[in-house]
Structure 1
Amino acid sequence: MDMLPGASTISIDTLSSNITQQGFTVQVSTTQDTSISEVAGQWMAVPSQPPSWTTDYQTGHFGILSARERADTGYTNTAGDVVFARRYATAPRVVVWITAFDFGVGATWRLNAFPTNIRGRGFTVNVNTWSNTVLYSANVSWVAWPAEDKSVIGNYWHPQVARLNGTGDDVEMAGFGNTSFVSFDKGVSRRMFPELLMGFSQFDVWRGPVGMKLRIENGVRREGTDCTVRSFGNVTLNNNVNLAWLAAT
């Protein structure tokens, strides 16, 4: 993401439309006067009725404006219940990505999305912020799959992106990136080269005139991926970052 805030907000919204068997259209938009220099994203296509011999993925979206009004910025946590179209025999694995946000520009931009109460028939999706952040709206996408399916794994990774001030304390740093190795499950690593999806599920970016400038870099191999999260353009990224990832063969 490489974005400049407007006079009152910084926002982005991503969605898909015109979905056919041949492809689809990706739309990226903003509200008011936010400027986007560059945005890169990932996507996966899932059949609405998967054959019995494939992974039973289920996907969906949640927007906090389905649970509160845009002006109700006093909320720190917004939750919604997700009911699966097809019930799983046991609690599945679930990962959640941030796909849209709309912040006020006067305070640090903080957002966290995560699942709780995961069970065979559904789960609770949570989207929250903290401290003095003004969050007008946010959307997330989620993916669920059977926990016993060994061809797919996924989890959350918390990189230490803002550390090393000589004392080991977490500090705010601008333009700092740290690379870590994220290991794949042996059941996946022993099979073919996996496909990887990875996106932000939490970030904490110091608001400022230089905007939102974040990047994820991956070096995928069979055993795992070298992953780097970095800010650039003198943007300060605090040490409250989580990435949701999914690797499938």
Structure 2
Amino acid sequence: ALNCPVTDLSYDQEHGGGILVKTEDMDLYCENLVNAAGLFSAQLAAKLVKKQPKSQQQQKRNFIPRHYFAKGNYFRLEGQRTPFSHLIYPVPEPGGLGVHATLDLNGHCRFGPDVQWIPVATDNNVVDDECMGDNNPDEIDLNVDPHRADVFYEQVRRYWPGLKDGSLAPDYAGVRPKVHHPDLLRDADGGASLGFADFMVQGPQEHGMAGVVHLIGMESPGLTSCLAVSELVADKLLLQGS
């Protein structure tokens, strides 16, 4: 339901099993649960783990990655005609696909997103109950800092040297959930950074909790590949226990 936050998750033992989803306004019972909560998916997964027997909590907690957040800023082109009639993608950068040129349905051009990591204040190896450390997605500032334009001019001019000074204006920003951080992700022995970690689709086969599929760290594939992702989710639920 719209604007109906989930406050708790647990396995229901009083109504023949299944999963109890508690919200601010109602309680819902379901046999299967797909956790596709975006920026909050790791947080919801942790709520369910906390209701497991203590002997199983640590094992199941290991399947929940720490969530990091990367803000992506966009600048729009003003006062200059775009030379592009299609998308332009530069070489990817750590955490993103680089500042690329996009066109809306009206032919207007904007550039972005960049990768602005939200500061992390806690140790990556300590996964707290919320799996987000001190970061609350609701408190992330989505205003675009005009001073970031300097970096945009530099990056866009790598593939469009004709971009004029004063042609970029702050547009909008969004936040991407990440299951890695380039400065904090380390291997099991504390060695060098692993560099890249994809989004996660975890079903009962991975975490051992019946009837639950977690979609964690989903970025653009959550939309652009939603049909393929939904098939994978359905397969995990249909094959559980087999």
TM-score by length of 1: 0.20
Higher share of residues assigned helix: 2
Instruction: Find the structure with the greater CA-based Rg.
Output: 2
TM-score by length of 2: 0.21
Higher share of residues assigned strand: 1
